[in-house]
Amino acid sequence: MLTIGKLGASAGVKVPTIRYYEQIGLLPEAERSAGNQRLYSQKALERLAFIRHARDLGFTLEAIRDLLSLSDQPDQPCAAADAIVIAQLAEVESRLARLGALKVELQRILTQCAGGKIANCRVIEALGDHSLCATDHRYPDLGATI
């Protein structure tokens, strides 16, 4: 059995994150020692490592919840898991496209700057006036520029 600190260290997750995952039901509540200390099994460590890896790959907590639910049913077909990964891949590809456009726009703004004084700086001017940009590089879901 692992204490919460050892569990966190083993999985590379901070203690408050473990408590949060318990609170939202991604991790089951830990057993308690006679001194009321949380104690975790190897299975809890494996589940936490799964969550950590999925988060590193950019999955939302809801997608992770769905994947964990699927992993708890090993005899089921994996089509649902595939669909979740396909959706995540599409989101990553969309982000990459937005970042590529952002890179091009930043390079364009920078090349227009003559390197003079701030009063005549094209970088500052372009950042202050979105209409000077060649592309719309807003996040569609937030409506904010990146």
Domain coordinates of the chain in residue numbers?
2-58, 98-132
pTM here is 0.76
Helices of type H across the chain: 4-11, 15-23, 42-56, 61-71, 79-112, 122-128
- H or E segment and range at residue 38: strand 38-40
Question: What values do phi and psi take at 66, rounded to 5?
Answer: -65, -40
pLDDT for position 116: 76
Q: What is the pLDDT of residue 140?
A: 59
pLDDT computed for residue 133 by the predictor: 78
What pLDDT is recorded for position 130? 77
Q: Which stretches of the chain score pLDDT less than 50?
A: 142, 144-146
d(CA 106, CA 102): 6
Write down the pLDDT at residue 111. Answer: 84
pLDDT score of 145: 45
Top CATH class, 2-58: mainly alpha
Position 26 scores a pLDDT of 95
